[in-house]
Structure 1
Amino acid sequence: MGAFLLVCICGGLGAVARFVLNTSIQRWWNRAYPLSTFIINIIAAMLAGMAAGAYFYQTVSYSTYLLFVAGFLGGFSTFSTAINEMVSLTRTRQFTVAAFYFLTTLVVPFLAVILGWWLVSFGH
């Protein structure tokens, strides 16, 4: 039961962090491309890569890794929002922006995971 509550708390903290960052970015970005979600997902992907690397190199325990990835990053990352934004862009016939968003939402976070892992493994 303790682990369950910790994941809930970490997930809530991640959701609050996402809300604050999302709101901050949207205050100055008013273009069609959903930059706030994109940035949040890049940060989440890089942190997930760092966490995976830290767990692989036994820098953190499995429970810490799980709390951070399943808890905090689970609440912070917004892949479902990204998919919804792609659909919205398509519905409003902004096909070029939707296609670009689709490609960047898949490719850049993937590269961010690799970068995160590399940053952690650099000293090993």
Structure 2
Amino acid sequence: MMLTSFLMVCVFGGLGAVTRFIVNISVRRWWTNRLFPLATFMVNCLAAFCAGIAAAGYANGEVDYDTRTLFVAGFLGGFSTFSTMINEMMALLRGKQFGMAGLYCLLSMVVPVLCMVAGWGVASLAH
């Protein structure tokens, strides 16, 4: 059973990574302001929102542990990316875009938390 769970988390993580790749390419096609890394920001906010929904569903007994694990640790783990956000912030710093780096860091820390709370709220309203 443990091996099956491990493999399923790997599969769902791969699906999340591919989804992130598609979202990233799609956003970069229409977002012309290359200074603010919107694609990664949007992905992390969406992942946090979905994690809030999953957490509320699990807390309310509507989602079982295995499903939550596959979705959160698997799909959302592959979909969201803290390391890319840090890389993009460092690129802004190397480019001497100190104000944008600070704004990006602040927004990337605060807004996803708010998105998670919003996801929890939306899921709780449906309950």
TM-score tier, shorter chain, comes to over 0.9
Deviations, residues 66-101 of structure 1 (Å, cap 9, x unaligned) = 110000000000111001111110010001111110
Alignment of 1:117 with 2:117, yes or no, is no
Amino acid across the alignment from 2:101: A
Are 1:78 and 2:45 an aligned pair?
A: no
The residue identity in structure 2 corresponding to 1:27 is R
- Where does residue 13 of structure 1 map in the other structure? 15
Structure 2: distance between partners of 1:27 and 1:120? 32
Moved over 2 A (4+): none
One-letter amino acid of the structure 2 residue matched with residue 59 of structure 1: E
**How far has the Cα of 1:30 moved from its partner?**
2.7
Q: Distance in 1 between matches of 2:41 and 2:97?
A: 17
1:52 Cα deviation from its structure 2 partner: 0.3
| Distance of 2:104 and 2:62 partners within structure 1 | 35
Aligned-residue offset at 1:29: 1.3
- TM-score, normalised to structure 1's length? 0.98
Q: Of residues 24, 28, 32 in structure 2, which corresponds to 1:26?
A: 28
Q: Secondary structure at the match of 1:122?
A: helix
SS at the partner of 2:62? coil
Note the alpha carbon deviations across 1:31-51, whole angstroms, 9 max, x for none: 200000000000000000000
**TM-score normalised by structure 2 residue count:** 0.95
1:62 aligns with 2:65: yes
Query: By how many angstroms is 1:123 displaced?
Result: 3.4
- 1:122 Cα deviation (Å)? 1.1
Report % sequence identity. Answer: 53
